[in-house]
C-alpha cells in the first residue's frame, strides 16, 4: 500500500507547523531532538508544547539556541548539509527543498542562486524545519505527500530589502502551478519555507485523495488568529484505488554519445531514484543519428537524476516536464522456485490483485542456478504467487 500524508493547510503553511503536525501524528520526537547535533548547530533546545488554536488542541514547536549566521547563504547551507550526519535520502530531499527556495529567491532578486542569502530566515530554524520535516516523514513511512489548496492573504511586510507585498515574492515564485485562494487579512499565512517544502515534496495539490485514514496530527503557528485556526492538519493513511501522482519527465537529446555508455547511464539514473529509464533512436540536425535518453522520477528526485544524466552522458542540458500518472498499489512478494527465491511484483486496485509479474533478473539468476529455461522459472514463479 502507498502511505500518504495529506497537508490540510487550514490556517496556512509554515515549517514549524509542519514539524508539529507530524509529531502530533506520532513521529518520533527523539529524531528531532537529535537533529541539531547532527547538523553541527551546537546546543539547540527543541521546545514542544501542547496549545489550543480556536479550541482545537495542537502541538507547537520552537527552537531555542544560537543562530548560525554563516549558514544563511545557499552555498553555505549546501556545504553544511553535505557534511551533516544524516541518512542519504533525508540529505538529498532537504537539498532539493533548499535549492528550490534558492532559485525562487534568485529569480526575485535577479542574482545567481549561489549568491542568495536567506535574510528573513533564521538559519538554524530553517535547517531544522526542512531537515526535520523530511526525516519525520521517513519515520512515519510516508511514500507520497499531497497538499491542499493554499490560503493567501494580501498585505505589506517590512523585510531586509524594504517593504514587500504579502504573500512574499519568493512564495509566489515557489507556488507557480499550485492552487491558491484569497482570504481576508494581512498576515503572512504561507512562509517561504512552507512553500518550498510543499513545492518540492508534494506530488500534487488538491482535495484529499481517497485513503484509509490512520493518523491525524495538528501543528500550530505562533499566533492565535481570529479569522481562522492557525493550524496545519496532517492526515496519514494508505491510498485506496489507483492513485494520481505527480512525476517529472527528464529528457536529453544526444548525437555524440557512445551507445555502449547508455546502459550505464540508465543504471545511474535508476540508482538516483528514477522510476523508469528508456532510450529511443532519433534523427538529429545535419542528418546525424542520435538518441533521446528519458527518465521518469518523483519531483523530489529530479535533481539527482539530472545529475546522473550529466555525469554519465554527453548532455549539456536536460529538459524537465511535469506530468501526472495513475498508479496501482504495489508490493513485492518472494516465492520459492526449486529452492531459489524469486521476487514478484503485485499490483492492486482497491485491494484486488489485477497484475502479477515475476522479476526477470531474479528469474534469470534462478534459471542459471537450476539449469532451467528462464521462461520455465517465470511460469513457476507466477504460479507460486497466484497460489499464495
Task: Read off the C-alpha cell for 243.
Answer: 492513485
- Nearest CA to 16 out of 57, 60, 65, 54 is that of 60
Query: How confident is the prediction for the chain on average, in pLDDT?
Result: 90
Task: Read off the C-alpha cell for 190.
Answer: 504561507
Task: Read off the C-alpha cell for 150.
Answer: 493554499
**Last residue in a domain, options 177, 207, 241:** 241
CATH assignment of the domain containing 267? 3.30.70.1380
> pLDDT for 67-108, tens place per residue?
555 557 888 888 999 999 999 999 999 999 999 999 998 888
Are 228 and 10 in contact by the 8 Å Cβ rule? The answer is yes
Q: What is the DSSP string of 92-116?
A: HHHHHHHHHHHHHHHHHHTS-GGG-
Are 144 and 2 in contact by the 8 Å Cβ rule? The answer is yes
Give CA–CA dist 281/292, Å, rounded. Answer: 6
Q: Are residues 78 and 103 in the same domain?
A: yes
**Last residue in a domain, options 327, 342, 372:** 327
For residue 276, what is the enclosing H or E element?
A: strand 276-283
> pLDDT for 348-361, tens place per residue?
887 788 999 999 99
**Last residue in a domain, options 197, 222, 241:** 241
Residue 205, CA atoms < 13 Å, CB-side half-sphere: 17
Q: Are residues 351 and 219 in the same domain?
A: no
> Can you tell me the mean pLDDT for 227-247?
85
Q: Are residues 163 and 191 in the same domain?
A: yes
Give CA–CA dist 52/59, Å, rounded. Answer: 8
Position 293 scores a pLDDT of 97
Domain count within the chain: 3
> pLDDT for 24-78, tens place per residue?
999 999 999 999 999 988 788 999 999 999 999 999 999 987 655 555 788 888 8
Q: What angle do CA 238, 240, 244 make, to 5 degrees?
A: 100
Q: Are residues 124 and 38 in the same domain?
A: yes
Total count of residues recorded for the chain = 388
CATH assignment of the domain containing 376? 3.10.20.300
Q: Domain of 270?
A: 249-327
Amino acid at each position: 500500500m502507498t502511505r500518504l500524508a495529506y497537508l490540510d493547510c487550514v490556517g496556512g503553511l509554515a515549517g514549524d507547523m509542519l514539524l508539529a503536525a507530524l509529531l502530533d501524528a506520532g513521529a518520533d520526537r527523539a529524531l528531532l531532538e537529535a537533529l541539531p547535533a547532527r547538523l553541527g548547530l551546537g546546543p539547540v533546545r527543541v521546545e514542544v508544547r501542547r496549545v489550543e488554536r480556536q479550541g482545537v488542541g495542537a502541538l507547537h514547536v520552537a527552537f531555542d539556541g544560537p543562530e548560525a549566521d554563516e549558514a544563511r547563504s545557499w552555498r553555505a547551507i549546501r556545504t553544511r548539509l553535505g557534511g551533516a550526519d544524516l541518512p542519504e535520502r533525508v540529505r538529498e530531499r532537504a537539498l532539493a527543498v533548499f535549492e528550490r527556495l534558492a532559485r525562487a529567491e534568485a529569480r526575485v532578486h535577479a542574482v545567481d542562486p549561489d549568491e542568495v542569502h536567506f535574510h528573513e530566515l533564521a538559519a538554524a530554524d530553517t535547517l531544522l524545519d526542512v531537515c526535520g520535516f523530511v526525516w519525520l516523514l521517513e519515520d512515519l513511512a510516508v511514500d507520497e505527500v499531497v497538499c491542499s489548496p493554499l490560503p493567501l492573504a494580501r498585505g505589506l511586510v517590512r523585510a531586509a530589502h524594504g517593504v514587500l507585498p504579502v504573500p512574499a515574492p519568493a512564495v509566489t515564485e515557489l507556488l507557480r502551478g499550485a492552487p491558491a485562494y484569497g482570504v481576508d487579512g494581512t498576515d503572512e499565512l504561507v512562509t517561504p519555507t512552507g512553500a518550498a517544502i510543499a513545492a518540492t515534496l508534494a506530488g500534487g495539490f488538491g482535495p484529499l485523495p481517497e485513503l484509509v485514514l490512520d493518523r491525524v496530527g495538528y501543528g500550530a503557528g505562533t499566533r492565535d488568529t481570529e479569522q481562522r485556526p492557525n493550524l496545519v492538519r496532517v492526515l496519514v493513511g494508505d491510498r485506496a484505488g489507483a492513485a494520481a501522482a505527480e512525476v517529472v519527465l527528464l529528457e536529453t537529446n544526444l548525437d555524440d554519445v557512445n551507445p555502449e555508455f547508455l546502459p550505464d547511464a540508465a543504471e545511474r539514473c535508476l540508482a538516483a531514484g528514477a522510476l523508469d529509464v528508456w532510450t529511443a533512436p532519433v534523427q538529429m540536425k545535419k542528418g546525424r543519428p542520435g538518441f533521446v535518453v528519458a527518465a521518469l522520477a518523483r519531483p523530489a528526485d529530479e535533481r539527482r537524476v539530472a545529475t546522473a544524466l550529466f555525469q554519465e552522458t554527453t548532455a549539456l542540458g536536460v529538459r524537465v516536464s511535469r506530468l501526472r500518472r495513475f498508479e496501482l498499489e504495489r508490493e513485492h512478494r518472494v516465492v520459492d522456485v526449486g529452492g531459489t527465491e524469486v521476487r514478484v511484483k503485485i499490483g492492486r486496485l482497491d485491494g484486488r490483485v489485477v497484475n502479477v509479474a515475476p522479476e526477470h533478473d531474479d528469474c534469470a539468476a534462478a534459471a542459471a542456478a537450476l539449469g532451467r529455461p528462464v521462461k520455465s522459472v517465470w511460469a513457476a514463479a507466477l504460479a507460486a504467487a497466484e497460489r499464495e
